[in-house]
């Protein structure tokens, strides 16, 4: 099993630098600009001045008076985040987005295809760069907790593949475990546990007595005895989008335009998956509903095929009444090969 954790490098700042390349090379700080605000993030130039996420802006301005201070623009970051996730979905068997700038990926097939987890990590970084111009760090291991620690290991642009979990974790401070906060760290240190290796050396019952069930959870990971995977997700069988007109529509041109619009949305929601069947649904005034579908000879993953097929199905209908609702659906989704189809574009 190979789980990758992908985390964008100084994400908000990187988005700002992409929008305004003149910012590159200068210390940039994004956060609420008022005196009482805190820093959301800073780029690596600003971090040299000890300005980090959650540093009060007033302190940041003292430490880095020549920094460029920008307000938070979530609309921009959300847009970039969507593009990043689209790039990831084209490569992975499954993607679990956990925040605006990070995701876990099941990359079993990718590793097989490119030959090694290192190459898979490079492929991911290049794909994200090509699609968005942004840089990310990647950690790969069989356990999601370890992959998250690994992606943070050599930021920015980091690439860390963990072959020996126990050896990799041993020298790291216990606070590197996601979920072990300040209070827990004090408790662990008070009991002589400073590094993850210190925990691994202890007996399981001692750990249970001192740190409870949570402690045992981390203890097993520290010893490389437990791999935390990604939750199983049932694969979607179809992707569809419908539209109900405010007033029943009789203008064929307007309905065709709506079909084009719905096809584009369906295509976007497929996230690169291929499909074999395209269907339309038409509901007339009075609720009479018709649906038609067409199965292609071979799977396709492009918007034009959805649009063309949906329009053809629509034009073949004998329409005698106004239309209340129109829907476009793709089904017989191909989860694995579609990823390979799209992968070829990165080569």
Catalytic residues: 102
User: Of the candidates 273, 280, 274, 265, which has an alpha carbon nearest to the alpha carbon of residue 316?
Assistant: 280
307 near ligand TTP, judged by CB under 6 A: no
Q: Assess contact for 137 and 84: CB atoms under 8 A.
A: no
Instruction: Give the nearest distance from C-beta 101 to ligand TTP in angstroms.
Output: 4
By a kind-dependent CB cut-off of 5 to 8 A, residue 37 interacts, out of ligand TTP, Mg ion, none, with none
Q: Which is nearer to ligand TTP, 97 or 268 (CB)?
A: 97
User: Of the candidates 39, 125, 28, which has an alpha carbon nearest to the alpha carbon of residue 84?
Assistant: 125
How many Å is the maximal CA-CA distance in the chain? 81
- Binder to ligand TTP among 108, 119, 155, 176 (CB under 6 A)? 155
7 near Mg ion, judged by CB under 5 A: yes
8 near Mg ion, judged by CB under 5 A: yes
Instruction: Give the nearest distance from C-beta 135 to ligand TTP in angstroms.
Output: 9
Distance between CA atoms of residues 162 and 166, nearest Å: 9
* Contacts for 115 with CB less than 8 Å, ≥ 6 apart: none
Instruction: Give the nearest distance from C-beta 176 to ligand TTP in angstroms.
Output: 13
101 near ligand TTP, judged by CB under 6 A: yes
DSSP 1-59: --EEEEEETTHHHHHHHHH-GGGTTS-EEEE--STT-BEEEE-HHHHTTT--TT-BHHH
By a kind-dependent CB cut-off of 5 to 8 A, residue 326 interacts, out of Mg ion, ligand TTP, none, with none
101 near Mg ion, judged by CB under 5 A: yes
- Binder to ligand TTP among 156, 173, 299, 337 (CB under 6 A)? 156
- Identify which range of 7-15, 85-93, 253-261, 331-339 contacts Mg ion by CB under 5 A: 7-15
Q: Assess contact for 277 and 310: CB atoms under 8 A.
A: no
How crowded is the C-beta side of 73, counted as CA atoms within 13 Å? Answer: 14
Preceding amide of 212 cis, omega within 30? no
Q: Which residues lie near ligand TTP (CB under 6 A)?
A: 7-12, 40-41, 53-54, 100-101, 155-156
Q: Which residues lie near Mg ion (CB under 5 A)?
A: 7-8, 11, 101
């Amino acid at each position: 099993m190979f789980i990758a954790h992908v985390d964008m490098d100084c994400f908000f700042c990187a988005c700002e630098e992409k929008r305004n390349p003149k910012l590159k090379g200068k210390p940039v700080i994004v956060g609420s600009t008022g005196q009482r605000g805190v820093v959301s993030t800073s780029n690596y130039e600003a971090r040299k001045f000890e300005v980090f996420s959650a540093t009060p802006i007033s302190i940041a301005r003292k430490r880095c008076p020549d920094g460029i201070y920008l307000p938070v623009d979530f609309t921009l970051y959300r847009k970039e985040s969507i593009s990043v996730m689209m790039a990831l979905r084209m490569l992975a068997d499954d993607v679990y987005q956990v925040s605006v700038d990070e995701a876990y990926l099941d990359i079993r097939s990718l590793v097989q295809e490119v030959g090694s987890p290192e190459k898979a990590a490079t492929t991911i970084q290049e794909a994200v760069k090509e699609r968005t111009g942004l840089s990310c760090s990647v950690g790969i291991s069989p356990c999601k907790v370890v992959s998250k620690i690994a992606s943070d290991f050599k930021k920015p642009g980091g690439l860390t593949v963990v072959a020996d979990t126990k050896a990799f974790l041993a020298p790291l401070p216990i606070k590197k475990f996601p979920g072990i906060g300040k209070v827990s760290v004090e408790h662990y240190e008070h009991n002589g546990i400073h590094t993850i290796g210190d925990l691994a050396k202890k007996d399981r019952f001692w750990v249970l007595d001192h740190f409870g069930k949570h402690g045992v959870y981390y203890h097993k990971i520290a010893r490389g005895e437990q791999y935390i995977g990604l939750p199983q997700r049932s694969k979607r069988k179809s992707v569809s989008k419908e539209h109900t007109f405010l007033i029943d529509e009789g203008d064929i041109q307007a309905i065709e335009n709506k079909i084009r619009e719905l096809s584009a949305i369906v295509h976007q929601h497929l996230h690169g998956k291929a499909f074999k069947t395209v269907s339309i649904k038409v509901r007339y005034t009075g609720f009479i509903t018709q649906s038609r579908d067409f199965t292609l000879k071979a799977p396709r993953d492009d918007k034009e095929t959805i649009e063309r097929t949906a329009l053809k199905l629509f034009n073949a209908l004998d329409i005698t009444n106004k239309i209340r609702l129109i829907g476009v659906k793709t089904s017989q989704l191909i989860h694995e090969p579609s990823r390979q189809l799209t992968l070829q574009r990165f080569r």
